[in-house]
Structure 1
Amino acid sequence: MASRADLKGKGKAGKGDDSKGTFIKSMKQWSTWCMKKAKVATQYGFIPLVIIIGMNTEPKPSLMQLLSPV
């Protein structure tokens, strides 16, 4: 029968290798946070951006003409 030491699975080479995993984990969290903020900024900024661009075109429409569906 195999000894207790032989039955242990092979683990990481050293405990100092965890810094790479921590860096990757923090980058994933950072990118997720940035994407959530970008989504909110896009959702709340798109319609005002369209209105501002529409107000600065030629011929200059009034705000009611710009917002009416017809």
Structure 2
Amino acid sequence: MASKIALKPKGKSGKGSKGSEEKSTVQCLKEWSTWAVKKAKVVTHYGFIPLVIIIGMNSEPKPQLYQLLSPV
């Protein structure tokens, strides 16, 4: 399930051409940003409710945990 970052440029190009270096850098940047956004989505998904509970527990007046979790 983990994505792998390819360090070699894909496609037909001559060795040592400057365009392939730029293209590989841009491609690596795109892959890294996609990976980072996916990880940020997971962290946000699983971290939002605990964050709300922690903020609620540190507010005044201090509620009990069951008061924060109860729907009433």
TMscore range, shorter length: 0.7 to 0.9
Paired position in structure 2 for 1:28? 30
Q: Secondary structure at the match of 2:37?
A: helix
TM-score w.r.t. the length of structure 1 is: 0.76
**Backbone CA RMSD of aligned residues:** 1.3
**Greater length-normalized contact order (CA 8 Å, ≥ 6 residues apart):** 2
In 1: Cα distance, 2:26 partner to 2:49 partner:
36
Identity of aligned residues (%): 61
Q: 1:62 aligns with which of 47, 54, 64?
A: 64
In 1: Cα distance, 2:20 partner to 2:61 partner:
62
Number of equivalenced pairs: 57
> Which whole-Å deviations, capped at 9, do the CAs of 1:5-53 have from their partners, x for residues lacking one?
xxxxxxxxx8402111111100000000000111111111110000000
Structure 1 stretches of 4+ moved >2 Å:
none
Q: Where does structure 1 lack aligned partners over 5 or more consecutive residues? A: 1-13
Paired position in structure 1 for 2:46? 44
In 2: Cα distance, 1:57 partner to 1:69 partner:
18
Q: Secondary structure at the match of 1:50?
A: helix
Structure 1 or 2: larger helix share?
1
Decide which structure has the larger Cα Rg and report it. 1
Amino acid at match of 2:50: P
